[in-house]
């Protein structure tokens, strides 16, 4: 573990050195004096979605992490370094979702705007599970109201960088927020159709805590907040006990997490005489493929809710 941390720290130092060497490649446009589209970089698909919407035709937006990519385990490569060096603004999640990359972004703030979209969320609303050792749960996009706050921060970020188009960015953020409000209400209505005693969802890792709190569904997970942690046999057996006792109908795999632990749950329950099915695939730390309904934030949330409701009703 110590060696792993050392290598991560070394990689960060090397990255910063490489980034400094790329300084001459950074765009020459002066803040507030636009000559073309703003070059914007986001980390995850969820952030890419809101940044692309707010940036509109004024921005050229790229994402570091595509469909099926786990941000907890992601490590920057040479191509990413070039993208970071070339970007004029960077939006990232914060709350340690991106691991060591978050530290890199913090150090870059003196060179260019690097904005954690979660920074304006009231800390009283952030989950702080015991296993996080004083850190907050970063999966804030699963409460649509919290992600609306992140959306507003994106609007502010664009407005601060390009004040000439300030009203355009803020209007887009407001427009998208209205769709988020409708989505939030729809989620509550749909989850409420599951009988209360059947409202238990079991997932591969603990990404859905905000979702459970916002939409009144109990969430159980094999792994912790980060997929870097490994589930023990004792934890898996303990979860099997709960599933059998509560007669849980289905469990869910995740698009960015291996299926092996969920499959172990199914087999363990089968050995105990309880028929447990895999209720479908949920999108947790990544969106679906670009161009698919699940490739947008709203489409991803609707897919998840529909999958959960169909499996547990």
- pTM for the model: 0.86
The pLDDT of residue 197 is 94
C-alpha angle with apex 296: 290 to 300, nearest 5 degrees? 110
pLDDT category, 211, cuts 50, 70, 90?
A: very high
Residue 122 has pLDDT above 60, yes or no: yes
Q: How does the average pLDDT of the chain come out, rounded?
A: 87
At the top level of CATH, which class does the domain 2-122+129-178 belong to? alpha beta
| CATH superfamily, region 189-312 | Nitrogenase molybdenum iron protein domain (3.40.50.1980)
The pLDDT of residue 15 is 54
The rounded percent of the chain whose pLDDT value lies above 70 is 85
pLDDT category, 236, cuts 50, 70, 90?
A: confident
The pLDDT of residue 4 is 44
What's the pLDDT tens digit per position in 132-141?
Answer: 677 899 999 9
pLDDT category, 204, cuts 50, 70, 90?
A: confident
- CA-based end-to-end distance of the chain: 43
Q: Classify the C-alpha dihedral 100-104-156-283 as positive or negative.
A: negative
Give 38's strand partners.
59
pLDDT category, 249, cuts 50, 70, 90?
A: very high
- Tell me if residue 175 falls in helix, strand or coil: helix
Cα 286 → chain centroid: 6
Residue 196 has pLDDT above 90, yes or no: yes
Average pLDDT over residues 263-274: 93
DSSP 63: E
pLDDT category, 25, cuts 50, 70, 90?
A: very low
Highest mean pLDDT (candidates 92-106, 157-171, 250-264)? 157-171
Query: Where do you find CATH 3.40.50.1980 in the chain?
Result: 2-122+129-178, 189-312
For the ranges 18-27, 198-207, 241-250, which has the lowest average pLDDT?
18-27
For the ranges 33-47, 110-124, 265-279, which has the lowest average pLDDT?
33-47
Q: Classify the C-alpha dihedral 225-230-231-234 as positive or negative.
A: negative
């Amino acid at each position: 573990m110590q060696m792993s941390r050392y290598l991560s720290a070394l990689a960060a130092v090397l990255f910063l050195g490489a980034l400094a060497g790329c300084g001459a490649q950074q765009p020459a446009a002066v803040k507030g004096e636009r000559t073309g589209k703003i070059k914007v970089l986001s980390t995850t698909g969820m952030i890419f979605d809101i940044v692309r919407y707010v940036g509109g035709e004024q921005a050229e937006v790229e994402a570091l992490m595509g469909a099926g990519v786990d941000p907890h385990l992601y490590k920057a490569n040479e191509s990413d370094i070039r993208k970071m060096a070339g970007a004029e603004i960077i939006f990232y999640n914060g709350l340690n979702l991106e691991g060591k990359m978050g530290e890199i972004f913090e150090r870059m703030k003196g060179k260019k705007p690097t904005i954690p979209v979660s920074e304006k969320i009231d800390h009283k609303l952030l989950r702080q599970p015991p296993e996080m050792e004083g850190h907050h749960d970063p999966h804030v996009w699963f409460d649509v109201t919290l992600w609306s706050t992140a959306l507003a921060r994106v609007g502010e970020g664009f407005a601060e960088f390009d004040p000439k188009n300030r009203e355009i960015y803020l209007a887009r953020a407001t427009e998208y927020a209205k769709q988020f409000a409708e989505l939030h209400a729809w989620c509550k209505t749909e989850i409420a159709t599951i009988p209360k005693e059947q409202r238990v969802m079991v997932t591969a890792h603990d990404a859905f805590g905000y979702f459970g709190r916002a939409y009144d569904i109990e969430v159980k997970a094999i792994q912790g907040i980060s997929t870097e942690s490994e589930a023990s046999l004792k934890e898996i057996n303990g979860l099997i006990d709960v599933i059998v006792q509560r007669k849980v109908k289905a469990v869910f795999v995740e698009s960015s997490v291996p299926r092996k632990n969920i499959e172990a749950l199914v087999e363990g329950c089968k050995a105990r005489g309880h028929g447990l099915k895999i209720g479908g695939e949920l999108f947790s730390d990544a969106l679906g493929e670009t161009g698919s309904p699940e490739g947008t934030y709203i489409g991803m949330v609707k897919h998840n809710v529909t999958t959960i409701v169909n499996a547990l009703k």
